[in-house]
Amino acid sequence: MGQGLSCAESQDHAFFTAVQLGEFDTVNAMLERDPSLLHQTTYDRQYPLHIAAANGQIEILTMLLERSVDPDMVNRHKQTPLMLAAMHGKISCLKKLIEAGANILKFDSLNGRTCLHHAAYYGHSDCLQAIISAAQSSPVAVSWGYARFVNIRDARGATPLHLAARQRRPGCVHILLGNGALVCSSTGGYGSPGSTPLHLAARGGSLDCIRALLAWGADRLQRDASGRIPYVVALKHKNGMCAALLNPSSAEPLVWPSPLKFISELNQEAKALLECALMEANREREKNILKEVNREREKNMLKGSGHSLPSPSHSADGTDYNISEASDTEVCCICFEQVCTIEVQDCGHQMCAQCTLALCCHNKPNPTTACLNPPVCPFCRSAIVRLVVAKIKNCNDADQDIGEIGSPKLRKSRKSRNFSEGSSSFKGLSATFGKMGGRGSGRIAAENEWMDKP
């Protein structure tokens, strides 16, 4: 009997090794001889489907699923093959499992996490996006609620956004924020204040994560269970650069405009342009702040002193905004500096991304008093329902993207059309932009003098 048991163990080991290495013919032949191998497990209760998913063996995984294997079988930690595919970033296996009906809402017993938590924690943005896309159409997620799924909590109260921020995963942070993740959610339950994603990003020390969270309205003054603001957390973990951006005495960052969140159909390309303009404006604001930190660090290195951090100042008078210069025939008719890249779809008026942001960013959005009314076009005062990437008509009446602008005559006619139709509202808007830019232009200011104090 001992010899027979040894042979069985040897056969199982050879089978699991063949699955791990992707030896399709060997696995197929062994299953033909002994179909019970489908339900054999390793010492830690990993099924063949787990091993195939974790190692990205898509052909073997497909063959196992075709043999009516349960896609939601669990190992000893109650982890499904879908969770392992998300952990290891095996996107093809993950998509195949979702296609086979794998449940995206299952929790493991180790930390109470779903496949969405695992994808965010390990930084696999492609897997994260695939799971979120599946959640928008999955009957399970629909019954649960899409917004609830994106903000699902693990056993410690952490959402996928918390985990992505803690593990320095800016790509995942951006995807989650763009898909409804709550930027100021707390890990605390039953009314006790816990850590926000910004606290965890300050601890992890990722500047890019902090930039994204601040741009989406994260509160620099929110306190955790110990009464610490993110600035103090960054100092404690010696993340000086992060602390400089989180210092409450430094200038407020620009925040993704609250009114734009309520535009019913914000074109994705237009959204990308606006986000790029927003992040670039915040980087310009950061230049002096981080420059001062670097200068202080160099002084400390020369003196051989320990770690210290200066208090960033509000002054940005010497900031080089490095705004691209455009010719007179293709500039935005509000700031006269940037090329028009955004178009209001219904009325056809165009402006640059920076001025579009300025139009909606006069004040820092307050979640308790945020107005749900959409912004209005500065030229014709009609409500903005949809923003798209700017296009113009060429001589053959064919649509052309802003990157392929036609003749100067067409550009000049577009400019004169914008200016003449919006003359009545242009003066008032220019006055607002004058305060923001410092010299009558529409460039986005880095200072918080035109924002509400938090």
- Under 8 Å CB-to-CB from 424, ≥6 apart: which residues? none
SS3 of the chain: helix, strand, coil, percent, to 5: 50, 5, 45
On the question of a common fold for 1-153 and 156-250, the answer reads yes
Query: From residue 116, how far is each of 73, 105, 203, 380 by CA, in Å?
Result: 18, 9, 22, 44
CB atoms within 10 A of CB 259: 18
Q: Which pLDDT score is estimated for 347?
A: 82
The residues facing 376 across adjacent strands are 383
Rounded Cα distance, 354 and 347, in Å: 19
CATH no. for 1-153: 1.25.40.20
Q: 260-284+323-454: which CATH architecture?
A: 2-Layer Sandwich (3.30)
Q: Which pLDDT score is estimated for 17?
A: 93
Rounded Cα distance, 166 and 229, in Å: 16
For 287-409, strand residue ranges (E) read 342-344, 350-351, 387-389, 391-393, 399-401
Q: Which pLDDT score is estimated for 300?
A: 64
Rounded Cα distance, 183 and 162, in Å: 9
Q: Which pLDDT score is estimated for 140?
A: 74
Rounded Cα distance, 221 and 196, in Å: 11
Rg of the chain, C-alpha, whole Å: 27
SS3 track for 150-175: HCCCCCCCCCHHHHHHHCCCHHHHHH
- Say if residues 364 and 454 touch (Cβ distance below 8 Å): yes
Q: Which pLDDT score is estimated for 370?
A: 45
Decide if domain 156-250 falls under CATH 1.25.40.20: yes
- Region at 103 (left for phi over 0; alpha for psi -120 to 50; beta for the rest): beta
| 342-344 and 350-351 strand pairing | antiparallel
- Under 8 Å CB-to-CB from 262, ≥6 apart: which residues? 372, 373, 374
| 391-393 and 387-389 strand pairing | unpaired
For 349-434, strand residue ranges (E) read 350-351, 387-389, 391-393, 399-401
Whole-model pTM?
0.70
Domain ranges of the chain: 1-153, 156-250, 260-284+323-454
- Say if residues 138 and 181 touch (Cβ distance below 8 Å): no
Rounded Cα distance, 101 and 176, in Å: 23
Q: Which pLDDT score is estimated for 408?
A: 40
Rounded Cα distance, 329 and 198, in Å: 43
First to last CA, the chain: 75
What is the layout of strands, in order, in the sheet containing 350-351? 350-351, 342-344, 387-389
Mean pLDDT, consecutive 10-residue stretches, the chain (454 aa), reads 44 88 94 91 91 96 94 95 97 97 94 96 97 86 84 93 96 92 82 85 94 90 92 93 90 70 61 76 72 67 53 36 38 78 80 76 47 70 78 50 40 43 41 38 34 31
- Say if residues 165 and 177 touch (Cβ distance below 8 Å): no
